[in-house]
Chain A
Amino acid sequence: MSNDSSSTSGVLGLDHETEERLHRIVLGISGLIAAFVGIFPIYWMAQNSLVTRQAVLDGPVLIPSPEEVTLSNFAIIFNNDVVMYFFNTTVVTIGTIVSVCILSLIAGYGLARFEWSQKENFARFLLFGYMFSPIVLGLPLYLIWQSLGLLNTRVGLIISLTAISMPFSVWLMWKYIQTIPRSMEESAWVAGASRWRAFRDVVVPQTKPSIIAAALFAFAIAWNDFTFAQILLPKNEATTFAPGMMRLVNQGYNIGWNEIMVVSLLMTVPPLLFAYFLQDYLLKGFEIRSL
């Protein structure tokens, strides 16, 4: 501790007020930079999805002139392939979210409420799964899924994505259920409720924040997935958005940058909404202290 005579003096040796003002200025500039870097790619998507193909060919302009604005690019939404990709992605994402939430709730309850040896080690062992690269798992899964007939099926992808989202959400539920007082359940048992009933009616309603957090993480993984879909869904009819779009782009299919930006923008809308409305839950989920 530098205990100078003027204990209110700031970091840079200036007086308190100047330092506070400086801090606010630096903070403001940081905020502006962050906002700009964050918004710009989204703006660029939006802008280019709204201009004509000719406007893109003419070269990049920061703000397009009004006569170049058009909605015609949005016709790509009705392209058969794109509809299929979106449909597959949505089904897989919802399937993953639902199964992650159910399974991790039950397992988290089991970890929090029952005493058994090696419990901690079991949970650590689950987290160890993050050491495996999607590639390390994907290559063997390709043959395993092939022999089980799960290759090119949405269920196969849902199972794999659920499994890789699982360690984190089980951990989350475990820690969260520990914070719910046991006595609430016990009073339900005394009133004659079965363990399952007490779990369903007393515990589950109170875990809403952690369910939302687990759902968000499952969403982030499923909506984002490329590697598993690329390996496990080699057929075009079964594939999801990410590998599908890469195929369309690489085939040079009659698809322009405008259309690619339209589709990208659509994929960005759910993340944007979730980030705005559910940001507190996202933070809550990461508030797990001990690993």
Chain B
Amino acid sequence: MSGDTFKKEQYKKSRSLWRSTRLQSDAVKSFISVLPVIILYLIISIIPAVFAVYASLHFIPLMSPTWTFVGIENYISVFELDQFWGSLWRGLIFMVGSTIIQVSVGLWLAFTLNDISIGQKYLTSIVFTAYLIPTVVVSLVALFLFDQSFGLFHMIGSEWFNLWDSTNYILGSNTWAMPLVILIGSWKFSIFVTIFALAQLRSIPSRFYEAARICGANRWQMFRDITFPRLKGIILTVILLRGVFMFNKFDLIWMLTEGGPGYATTTLPLLAYQETFQGGSYGLGNALAVMMFLILALSAILYFKAASPSQEAEV
């Protein structure tokens, strides 16, 4: 009997000893395990960000290696650019318009996919495909559909609905370019919201609904008391993410219109790209990039203060 307890004691002792030696090497190992990520993050995010701030204080012609320190001159030029405030405004329209459409369409699709029983798997794969299709393909198909000679949507709009003249290239028209870019982007990016919301909807145990049904709750009551409280956090998070991503969106707009016609679809990322690679002024482009980041960070902090999505999402 006493032998048994002795053995146990010894086992416990050796186990704790073995644990403490482990703990010492744990610190090293944990550091090693996250080291590659830290290095990558430094190279790709932090160093470029610092570099951008540094470069924004210099005058740098793109083709020459000479940097001249000019202080905050680039930032003054940013505010003097005729296109800065216009681009900021268009960027906000693009961001807010896209986010509203994407969140509403995305949620609608999530509810549909969650409730539908016939062909659920097929419908889900069709919908998810839209998210995985590269933006360039979305843009190419859109350019084709709105082509003024061979485009189906162009023809439908001009011949069936008389929305525009049949000779008018509408992705190059001041009135239509921005709304169309928003709509074309939403075809793909709404699905991001759908995936988020659908994952959350699927994780709600069905016994909640069964219990509610037994108590005689109707669909609205079930939505209000079961679904919505669990979806609220996700919705707030997704609004933030979509807003940030759309504010930063470059590829879609660039491929569809290159910011044109004129500056009708030029948002801040496009302006920064143009100033850098077409205007040839690397310092100014970086000053714009830094401004963009500051605007975004400030808005995100305000949003966090107002909506605190992280607290909601932790439910």
Is B315's CB under 8 angstroms from A10's CB?
A: no
Alpha-carbon distance A238/B22, docked complex (angstroms): 47
Q: Is the contact region of chain B dominated by helix, strand, or loop, or is it mixed?
A: helix
A56, CB-defined interface residue at 8 Å: yes
Least Cβ–Cβ distance between B57 and chain A, in angstroms: 13
**In the complex, which residues 135-159 of chain B have their Cβ closer than 8 Å to any Cβ of chain A?**
135-138, 140-141, 143-145, 147, 149-152, 155
**Assembled-state Cα–Cα distance A245/B220 (Å):** 48
Take A267-B137, A291-B313 as given contacts and tell me if A130 and B198 are in contact as well, using a CB distance cutoff of 8 Å. Answer: no
Q: Is B259 an interface residue (CB 8 A)?
A: no
Q: A11-B220, A114-B27, A116-B27 are in contact. Are A226 and B310 (CB under 8 A)?
A: no
Are B129 and A268 in contact (CB-based, < 8 A)? Answer: yes
Is B206 among interface residues, defined by CB-CB distance under 8 A?
A: no
Q: Which of B41, B147, B245, B269 contacts A163 (CB 8 A)?
A: B41
Option from B108, B132, B196 in Cβ contact (under 8 Å) with A219: B132
- Residue interface mask A127-147, B partner, CB < 8 A = 1: 001111111110111011000
Spell out B's residues near A (CB within 8 Å). 22, 26-27, 29-34, 36-37, 40-41, 43-45, 47-49, 51-52, 55, 108-109, 111-113, 115-116, 118-119, 121-138, 140-141, 143-145, 147, 149-152, 155, 187, 195-196, 198-200, 202-203, 216, 218-221, 233, 237, 241, 244-245, 247-248, 250-251, 254-255, 269, 272-273, 276, 282, 285-286, 289-290, 292-293, 296-297, 300, 309-310, 313-315
The 8 closest A-B CB pairs, nearest first, are A110-B33, A114-B30, A271-B132, A163-B44, A133-B248, A140-B48, A7-B216, A275-B128
Chain A residues packing against B (C-beta within 8 Å): 1, 7-11, 19, 23, 27-28, 30-31, 34-35, 37-39, 41-42, 44-45, 48, 56-57, 59-60, 103-104, 106-107, 109-111, 113-116, 122, 126, 129-137, 139-141, 143-144, 159-160, 162-164, 166-167, 170, 195, 219-220, 223-224, 226-227, 230, 241-242, 245-246, 249, 257, 260-261, 264, 267-268, 270-272, 274-276, 279, 282-287, 289-291
